[in-house]
Structure 1
Amino acid sequence: MSTPITIAVIFGGQSGEHEVSLVSAHAVINNLDLERYHIETIGIGKDGCWWHGPGALAALMAAADPARLPASATMAAPGPVRELGRVGAPGWALPAADVYFPVLHGPYGEDGTIQGLLELAGKPYVGCGVAASAVGMDKGLMKAAFAAAGLPVLPWLLVRRAELAAIEVVCDRIEAALRFPIFVKPANLGSSVGVSKARDRAELIAALHEAARYDRRIVVEQGIPAREIEISVLGNDQIEASLPGEIIPAGEWYDYHAKYIDGGSQTIVPAALAPAQIAQVQTLAIQAFQAIDGAGLARVDFLLDREQGTLWLNEVNTMPGFTPISMYAKMWAASGLPYPRLLDRLVALALARAGHGA
C-alpha cells in the first residue's frame, strides 16, 4: 500500500464568509478517503490567528456566530489544537503537508492572498493561482475581463466608497445608465453577503451604504427577471464542464439567508434546459474560466432572462462552497463524478500544476 498523501485543509478566515468556510471544510474532511490521505487541519480565526490540530475545526465552530451557520451545519469532533499565531509572528510556521486545500471563501483566502503565501512557500495547493483568484474575487475586475474576452455581461457600473460622500450625484449616474431594479454588491465578497436589491432611489442609497460596509469598491448592475443557472468546471489546461443546475430561491432572490439559513431554497440538478442551452452554458463557462486564467476548479454562475431567453454571464467563483447543500459537488455528482472522487481529482490537479505528476 502506498504512503498516504498528507492534505492540509485550511478553513475559517477573516471574511464575512467565515462560517460558510467552516461547514465547507467539515464536508471536505468527511469525504476525503482516509486510506489515500492523511489529513491535517488548519483553522484561521476571525482575528487572523492560525490554529493547527485535530480540534481546530471544532474550536472555530464553537466560536462561530450561530446566526450565520447554515441550517445543515453539524459540529466537528473535538480534539487537541495548537495556536500558531498570526503570519509573520515569532515561531509561526506553515504546518507540513504534500498538498494544501484552502477551503476559504472571500477576502484573505479566495482572493490570491493565501495562494501567494503558498506560492512563496513552494507548496502545491488546490484551486486557482494568484492572478485568477484575485480577478475572480473582485467583481469589477472580473466583469472587465469577461467584457475584454467578448463574453455576455449585463450593464454595470463601479462605484467607490469615497464617492458616496456625494450620494445624490452617484445615484444620478447610476439611474442614467441602469433602470430599476438594480443589484448592489461589494466587489470583493461572496455568498451574497452585503448584496441588496434596490427598486427605487431610497433603496439604492441604503444598498450602496450596506455594500460599503464590506468593501471600498461596489459593483452596481442591471437587474432582470431571470432564472439562476450554475455550472461546475474542473481542470488545468484541459477543462471540463459539468451538467448545469438551477437555483430556485426561497425568497425573492438568492441572498445569504436563502442560501444558508432558511433551508427552503431548491436546487434542480440537472437544470431543465434544452440541449442547445446546455451546450451554450458549458462553452461560456469554460471561456469564462479561461478569461481569468483559472486552474483546478470554479463554479460559473449565469442569469437566463425569463422574457428574452438571453444567457448572461454573472460571475466565476474560484473556491465555491463545499457544504452539503452546495451546488459545485452536486453538479459533478449528477455528471457521474461523486464527491470523494471529485476531491481525488482536485488533489491530482493540484499536484500536476505544481509539477509533481498525477
Structure 2
Amino acid sequence: VDSVLEIQNQAKQQLQRAAMAAAAADVLLPSKRQKNNPSCLGTLPVLPATATADCWRCATDDPKDDTSDPRFLPYRWIILNDAFQSGTRLLLVNTSTGRFLHRELPLLRDYYVITTTLTGFFILADRSPPHAARVFNPLTGGTIPFTVPVPPEVNVAGSICFDFTLPLLTLLCDSSHKLYMARPDQFEVEDHKFPVYSFIRRAVVGGLIGRWWGSAGMADVIGKILGVAESLRAHPLKFFSTDPPELGSADNARCFLMDFGGHLLAIIKGQGLIQVFKCDDENGTLSHVKSIIKHAIFIGHHRCLAVNTDMFPSIEANCIYYTEHLGSSARIWKFNIEDRKVETVSEAVDFAKKDKQFVLVADRPFTIIQLLSSYSINIQDSELALQQIT
C-alpha cells in the first residue's frame, strides 16, 4: 500500500511540475492546428483553384520554412525497420491510412540515432560534444535543433509535443531514471524513483503528453488505475515496468497507457485477463471499454499503438494483440474485447530472444501483425551510447 501511495503522490507532483513547465508557453489556437496536411502525410492536399501540378511548390508553403507547422507534422506514422540496423533506407507505415513508404534518409549518417517516436520522428544527437539533441522529420527532411545534451545511456525513449508555441521534447533514460524536458533553447532534468519513472515513461511513450499533464482529474485517474492494480494483487514496482513478464508468473500484471483518439486508455493485462478502461481526465473516473470498433491495439513491454483495421484487412477489429514470453521465445496472441476470446495468431513460435532483442523467426515476408508486434516489444540501443562504449 505504501508503494501505491508513493507512486500516486509522486506522479501527482510530477504532473503539476510538467503542467507548469508546459504552461510557460501559450497553447496554440485551435484554428492554427486544424490546417490540412499534404498528401505525403497521409491525407490529400488542399490547393488553390489556380494551382497546377507543375507549380504546386509555388502554391503551397515549403515544409522546411517552419518545421513546427502542423500541416507538415507526421501523423500516426511509425518506423518499422530503423536506422540502427538497416542503414539509411527505412520502411514507414501509417497506422491510420495503411500506407507504406520506403524512404532513403542519408542525413542520418551525420548524427547519432538515439530513438524514434510513436509519431514518426527521429531523435538524433550531434556527433560532436556536447551531443545536442535534434528532432528529424523523415517526411519533410526538416530538423529542429535543441540545446539539451543527449545523455549517453543505452536505452532512451522520447517524444516530441507541438501543443504549444514552442516544441517540447521529452527524453526518458531507463538506466538512471532521469527525465529531460526541453524546449529548443532551455531544458530541465529530474530524477525519479523507479516506479514513478515507469509510470511517466508509459504515459509519455503512449502519447499522453502536452495537454494531458494539465488535466484536472489526472491524479485521480492514476489513483483509480493503481486501485485496479491492488485488486489484482499486482506488484506495484512492476505494474508499469518495461520488463517483459514471464508467462505463468504470479505477478505479471502490466498496465499500458495510451492516447486513443483523444481518450486516455489504460489496458491492464494480468494472468489470463485483459481489461480495457477509458479514463475521464476531467473528473477522474474509469469506465470499462466494450468496443474499439474498427481499431485494433498492439501492446508490448516497450510500446503500444492503435491501427485502423479498415486499412489492414489481415488485422481483426476490436482486438488486443500482445506477446507472451517464455524463456528465450515469444508468441503473438489475440484477445477479442467483445467476446473475450483468447487465441494464438500462429501455431509456431514467432520470436526468439537474441541478447536484448526479440527477433522474428518466421519465414519472410513477414506479416503486418508480426511487424507491429515486433515494433511493440523491441527498442534499439542509442548509437551515442554504443559509440562511447566501444
TM-score by shorter chain over 0.5:
no
More strand by share: 2
TM-score by length of 2: 0.26
More helix by share: 1
Q: Which has the higher contact order (CA 8 A, sep 6+)?
A: 1
TM-score by length of 1: 0.28
